[in-house]
Amino acid sequence: MPFITTTEAGVPIQGPTATLLYDDWYPALRTDQLRPNKLTTAMLLDIPLVLGRRSDGRVFAMRDSCPHRGIPLSVGWFDGKHVACKYHGWEFEPCGGQCALIPSLSSFDHLDATRIFATAYPCEERDGHTWVYIPAAGTGRKGESAERRRPVPELAKFGPRYRTAFLTAGLPCNVDHGIIGLMDPAHGPFVHQAWWWRTRGSIRQKTKRFEPIPEGFRMSAHAPSGNSAPYKLLGVYGQPIETTIDFTLPNRRTEVIRCGDKWFSSLTTVTPVTASTCRIDVIAAWNVFYHVPLVTPIAKFFGAKFVRQDQVTMIQQAEGLRHNPSLMLIDDADKPAKWYFALKQARLDAAATGGAPRHPMDGPVELHWRS
């Protein structure tokens, strides 16, 4: 899928950039993209990465740059234990980045190769995502100590048996626009018009209750909108349906739908690839219709259509944003977007002053909009 739209001349569209949040976990790629003894590249927050899986199973992410002369490590070799640079053959242990060998050293040299480190980032595998912790610049070789790191994000599951799906799409706009799009309640009836979802004519007034949660906000548990088909499907179980949607910094929307012992859970992230582009990833798990054949391909088909509608809209939006228009956020439909910007600023301020982030909400609020 296209990450970057291009002008007629083939020049990538460079839209406005966003301030990036460091000291947190971001999904770099799917673990099934990692092959034995192979190196794979990805880009996160404008940082080129080289990723792989050691022969003992551990995943790793290094800056794709040799500390000797800067050639990408990804053009070198990986034997399951060490990453060897193509230029002068220096070898690195990839989880910690420690240099293990400098082939040119002779018996006359006193340089201790093990005191040299390539940049290695904390890297963990969860739900098929390779999560990479990107520390703020200047916070040391591996960022904060492991204890001070925020926990690795994980998709909520409510039992041992479930099906899963994954979707991804590159978006040619900066992460702020991607996130606003993610939490925007008013675009649904226009962007996602389809017989199986909802139509413009089904717009009705909604009232939703929101409450503050640490570094985010929750759309409190409620019966989901009666005018969308996926929720209607759950009605076949004849039990009350309840859904809870959380947004938390830096980029995560989680949704849990429960209906008796049936559940559906998703984690959507909008990750900065560069300061002006981002990528949306959706992972989902459910035990709804567990025994119905073809549920996974059908769910993927509709999910992919849905994400594609957002992607197409944002590609079109990027054309407009290229000219740096002034924009507006209106109440109440854009209130979640306002909270997002306030939460983000609070984290940036707290990082600068060393204090605790100030939450923009002082208690539960009701918002009203039509969608």
CB of 317 to Fe ion, least distance (A): 12
- The residue (of 98 and 311) whose beta carbon lies closer to ligand FES is 98
CB of 70 to ligand FES, least distance (A): 7
CB of 61 to Fe ion, least distance (A): 29
Q: Select the binding partner of residue 358 from Fe ion, ligand FES, none (C-beta < 5 to 8 A, by kind).
A: none
Q: Select the binding partner of residue 365 from Fe ion, ligand FES, none (C-beta < 5 to 8 A, by kind).
A: none
- The residue (of 86 and 192) whose beta carbon lies closer to ligand FES is 86
The footprint of ligand FES (CB under 6 A) covers 66, 68-69, 71, 85, 87-88, 90
- The residue (of 47 and 314) whose beta carbon lies closer to Fe ion is 314
Q: Select the binding partner of residue 88 from ligand FES, Fe ion, none (C-beta < 5 to 8 A, by kind).
A: ligand FES
- The residue (of 118 and 256) whose beta carbon lies closer to ligand FES is 118
- The residue (of 113 and 350) whose beta carbon lies closer to ligand FES is 113
The residue of the chain with the least Cβ separation from Fe ion equals 310
Q: Select the binding partner of residue 310 from ligand FES, Fe ion, none (C-beta < 5 to 8 A, by kind).
A: Fe ion
CA distance 76 to 278: 28
- The residue (of 310 and 334) whose beta carbon lies closer to Fe ion is 310
Q: Select the binding partner of residue 87 from Fe ion, ligand FES, none (C-beta < 5 to 8 A, by kind).
A: ligand FES
CA distance 214 to 7: 41
Rule CB under 5 A: say whether 310 interacts with Fe ion: yes
CB of 58 to Fe ion, least distance (A): 36
CB of 188 to Fe ion, least distance (A): 6
How many residues touch Fe ion under the rule CB under 5 A: the total is 1
Reading phi first (left if > 0) and then psi (alpha if -120 to 50, else beta), residue 191 is in alpha
CB of 97 to ligand FES, least distance (A): 13
In the numeric block, which tokens belong to residue 364? 């539960």
Q: How many CA atoms lie within 13 A of 138 on its CB side?
A: 1
CB of 79 to ligand FES, least distance (A): 16
- The residue (of 113 and 275) whose beta carbon lies closer to ligand FES is 113
CB of 50 to ligand FES, least distance (A): 12
- The residue (of 74 and 254) whose beta carbon lies closer to ligand FES is 74
User: Which spans of this chain sit near Fe ion (rule: CB under 5 A)?
Assistant: 310
